[in-house]
Chain A
Amino acid sequence: MLIRTPNLLHPTEAEATDEALYWNRRAVLAGLVAAGALPQAAQAQTPLPARRTRTLDEEPTPFDTVTHYNNFYEFGTGKEDPARTAGRLRLRPWTVRVEGMVAKPQTIDIDQLIRQFPLEERVYRLRCVEAWSMVIPWVGFPLAALLRQVEPLGSAKFVAFETLRDPRQMPGQTTAALQWPYVEGLRLDEAMHPLTMLAVGLYGRTLPAQNGAPLRLVVPWKYGFKSIKSIVRIRLLDRQPPTSWNLSAPNEYGFFANVNPDVDHPRWTQSRERRIGDWFPRRTLPFNGYGAEVAGLYRGMNLARYY
């Protein structure tokens, strides 16, 4: 099933960022790195030319914050741990296996994958289940593009994703914080939705390891934990796959995990969120503000039950 909303994904030439400006911003970033204002890690990321296809009239969270405050339990349970310890993740060689109920299963090299589809820059909100949020300019391509390439069979109804499992590279995997490897899943129509993307970069450069390099999912209307990082395997299935946080605490984290201000986490409210950088909490929007585009996917479903 394909849902096309071309008006959103293909802006006119006038809406796209002027290339001169784009490269200029990168020069500013490079200057900051040279001046020592940006941390060493930023230098390791290479530029990724992309067309800006989606913006927000909200201020993006600074690069330094996006790359130094996140959850990635493979690298520790503290939110500043990933930036400290993700350096040991070996990003090359890296392949992604796409298999299951597809006509053309493939093992794709990450560098080939990055060149395979036109890269887009999309500025999305990210709402963590812990009630904080950011605005991030991702670089990547629609997941649908990759799925179409492997030709899902008619029997395929769900997509399962899997993170790398290697405790030597991912020290958090020596703890029992979660079951490893981290697994996530989407219904096929959610996976094919034009908003769902596979990100390979942010802020115009390849992803830093701590943000899920070299390849991660971004599903902006769902809580952040759905957006699985450092993906090595994608499988198309006829039944709903298990998902990590749901296995850990089924009463707290559902399969759908759509951002919903009306369904509280058992331990805290989801009606509000703290936008990183703001002093005062703000109201959380249904589907994280993407309801006009995605609410149709859940028509007739009781979202308090299927949280």
Chain B
Amino acid sequence: MRPMARWAVRWGVQLAMALPLAVLVARWGAMAWGLSPRAAGLTAEPVAETINQLGLWALRALWLTLAVTPLRAVTGWNWLAAWRRPLGLWCFAYATLHLMVYVGLDMLGDLGLLWADVVKHRFILLGMAGWVMLLPLALTSPRAVARWLGGRRWRVLHRLAYVAGLAVAVHFLLRVKGFQIEPWIYAGLLALLLGLRRWPARAIMHWTRPRA
């Protein structure tokens, strides 16, 4: 790709990932302005809706991050590799906001209550585990830190993203009542993204391996 196009794509991705957050902020602004939560698009339970939206976008960003490598393998578009880090950081940003709103506005900052929730309920434990696994990935994302860590160790550490994906997929499955298709679709997509890495690996990964 030409530099212009690459620049446009990069900013396009950043804007697309920022948009859901901007919409949420605008909705909260409208509510602060005096609109009812429903009129502001946050349903009758603005806190619950905000937690749900932030969680869903964290999950989507993680899935997109995990899609980069297989997509690159299939298409041979090596420039996709540059998206992995920004997408991963967006995932961490949404996951952190998701956790902060849950702890701050649902648990009201009561860490005792939070701990009780984590140890008693697998659903909460898995979500928390997902975030805890993302944390070291975000911390080791600056190039300097990655270099200090060394390429091999960095790669091994960042395999935690797969485990985080599994925890998050089950967290979402446990979120809903009755049989609902949406979390199963995401679970299926994750299985596909992880499966593509293992199974036809040699066959499709025809790009030149990045130099360590």
> Are B117 and A269 in touch, CB under 8 angstroms?
yes
Q: Is A148 an interface residue when CB atoms closer than 8 A count as contact?
A: no
Chain B residues 6-36 with CB under 8 Å of chain A are: 36
Chain A residues 254-304 with CB under 8 Å of chain B are: 264, 266-269, 274, 276-277, 279-281
Q: Is A189 an interface residue when CB atoms closer than 8 A count as contact?
A: no
- In the complex, chain B residues whose CB is within 8 Å of the CB of A165: none
> Are B43 and A69 in touch, CB under 8 angstroms?
yes
Bound CA span A178–B105, Å: 31
The stretch of B44-52, B67-75, B204-212 in contact with A is B44-52
> Are A280 and B181 in touch, CB under 8 angstroms?
no
Q: Is A77 an interface residue when CB atoms closer than 8 A count as contact?
A: yes
> Known: A65-B38, A281-B108. Is A132-B180 also a contact (CB below 8 A)?
no
Q: How far is the CB of A137 from chain B (nearest CB, A)?
A: 17
The stretch of B53-61, B132-140, B170-178 in contact with A is B170-178
Picked from B45, B116, B181, the residue with its CB within 8 Å of the CB of A276 is: B45
Picked from B105, B108, B116, B176, the residue with its CB within 8 Å of the CB of A269 is: B116
Chain A residues 65-117 with CB under 8 Å of chain B are: 65, 68-69, 73, 77, 79-80
Q: Is B143 an interface residue when CB atoms closer than 8 A count as contact?
A: no
> Are B45 and A69 in touch, CB under 8 angstroms?
yes
> Known: A65-B38, A267-B123, A269-B117. Is A73-B178 also a contact (CB below 8 A)?
yes
DSSP majority for the A interface? loop
Picked from B44, B47, B106, B122, the residue with its CB within 8 Å of the CB of A68 is: B44
- In the complex, chain A residues whose CB is within 8 Å of the CB of B45: 69, 79, 132, 274, 276
Q: Is B2 an interface residue when CB atoms closer than 8 A count as contact?
A: no
> Are A280 and B108 in touch, CB under 8 angstroms?
yes
> Are A178 and B44 in touch, CB under 8 angstroms?
no
- Interface size, B (range): 20 to 34
Q: Is A64 an interface residue when CB atoms closer than 8 A count as contact?
A: yes
Number of A-B pairs, beta carbon distance below 8 Å: 67
- Interface size, A (range): 20 to 34
Bound CA span A281–B110, Å: 12
- In the complex, chain A residues whose CB is within 8 Å of the CB of B180: 77, 177
> Are B44 and A65 in touch, CB under 8 angstroms?
yes
- In the complex, chain A residues whose CB is within 8 Å of the CB of B108: 280-281
> Are B116 and A177 in touch, CB under 8 angstroms?
no
* 13 chain-A/chain-B pairs, Cβ below 8 angstroms: A64-B38, A69-B44, A77-B176, A77-B177, A77-B180, A80-B43, A175-B181, A177-B179, A269-B116, A274-B48, A276-B44, A277-B44, A280-B108
User: What are the nearest 7 A-B pairs in CB distance?
Assistant: A69-B44, A267-B123, A177-B178, A176-B179, A65-B44, A276-B44, A178-B178
Other contacts beyond A68-B44, A69-B45: 14, CB < 8 A: A64-B38, A69-B38, A80-B43, A178-B178, A178-B179, A248-B177, A248-B178, A266-B121, A267-B122, A267-B123, A274-B45, A274-B47, A276-B45, A281-B108
